Amino acid sequence: MQITAKQLAKLLNGTVEGNPDATVHAASKIEESQEGTICFFANPKYEAYVYNTKATILLVADDFQPSQAISTTLIRVKDVYASVAILLEQFGNRQIADVGISEKSSIHESAKVGEQTSIGDFTILSKNSRVGANCTIYPQVFIGDNVQIGDNVILYPGVKIHHDCQIGNNCILHSNVVIGGDGFGFASQEDGSYKKIAQIGNVIIEDDVEIGSNTTVDRATMGSTIIHKGTKLDNLIMIAHNVEIGQNTVLAAQAGVAGSTKIGDNVVVGGQAGIVGHLKIPNGTKIQAQSGVTKSVRKENQALYGYPAIDYKTYLKAYAAFKNLPSLVKKINELEKKLKEIS
């Protein structure tokens, strides 16, 4: 991909200072810049790199005032980080080059595929499945019976979407995501064994959801497991049956949500946090990494920390006392010894 400073400025709604015809083919970090690349400057601690960068184009904020001469072409933008997100999307487009259906794929005669959709080698589209327009389905993806997939969806290699599940528009599922595997449902028997409970529901994933590699979202026992619009799930996350996650919520890697828990909108869940089943987590809740939530949260926009998770500030005060316990115990033992001597 070759693109000029003038074209980039138009894309990013910015202005060019320098050569508008300067051309780049890739993005690079400012401390590792090379000729023919574009890099960005937003953090003041990296300013020294600005004056000796080898990059052909440098992305900076509108209000940046250099203290030395700069030889490279600048593109000034209102928000550097927002512009970088757009920039990386341009340079990171890894869709299959040839639009079409691979001869090595298996497409059921009743399946439907939208226009400008690419389907890679050894991908399976099962009976009555539907894939929308402008989708990219990489090799070795499995799409089960009656699955409905919207437009502009990217499914990376190894994704598995089981029967009756629904994927909205503009979703991205990374490698080895499993959507619609059975929920963990078993009934204990008198002899100590467990009988499997049939999981007859499905999974509904709304528009603009992104799910990281090796994450699993289980189908509902009955009804639906639902991931609402705009939510982002990191790698290695477990979402159990009948969970519902609200809009624009984010979960970091190795978080787990047990069955039938309802999570609100704009919730942030840190890495390795765990939420037990049948709870309600309201809008705006922030759960710190490695915390364990064992009961429903009543107040919106509350930060939680620890196990069992409590108010974040309360936890910090408790921890401050807890880490001093060894010295406090020592003092108490000394006081008890002196009291015995006095008595």
Catalytic residue among 163, 174, 241, 278: 241
Is 241 assigned a catalytic role? yes
| Helical ranges in 1-142 per DSSP H | 5-12, 47-50, 80-91
- Hey, how many other C-beta atoms are within 10 angstroms of the C-beta on 251? 28
For residue 101, what is the DSSP state?
A: B
- Residue 279 to residues 182, 240, 282, 287, 323, Cα–Cα distance (Å): 21, 13, 10, 14, 31
CA–CA dist 217, 205 (Å, integer): 10
Q: Which amino acid is at 279?
A: L
CA–CA dist 249, 269 (Å, integer): 8
Q: Which residues, 6+ apart, have CB-to-CB distance to 331 below 8 Å?
A: none
Asked if 248 and 266 touch (Cβ cutoff 8 Å), the reply is yes
| Helical ranges in the chain per DSSP H | 5-12, 47-50, 80-91, 312-322, 325-342
Per-position DSSP letters for 243-268, written without gaps between them: -EE-TT-EE-TT-EE-TT-EE-TT-E
CA–CA dist 219, 146 (Å, integer): 14
CA–CA dist 192, 188 (Å, integer): 6
Look at strands 73-77 and 112-113 and give their pairing.
unpaired
Per-position DSSP letters for 56-92, written without gaps between them: SEEEEETT---SS---SEEEEES-HHHHHHHHHHHHT
Residues recognised as catalytic: 241
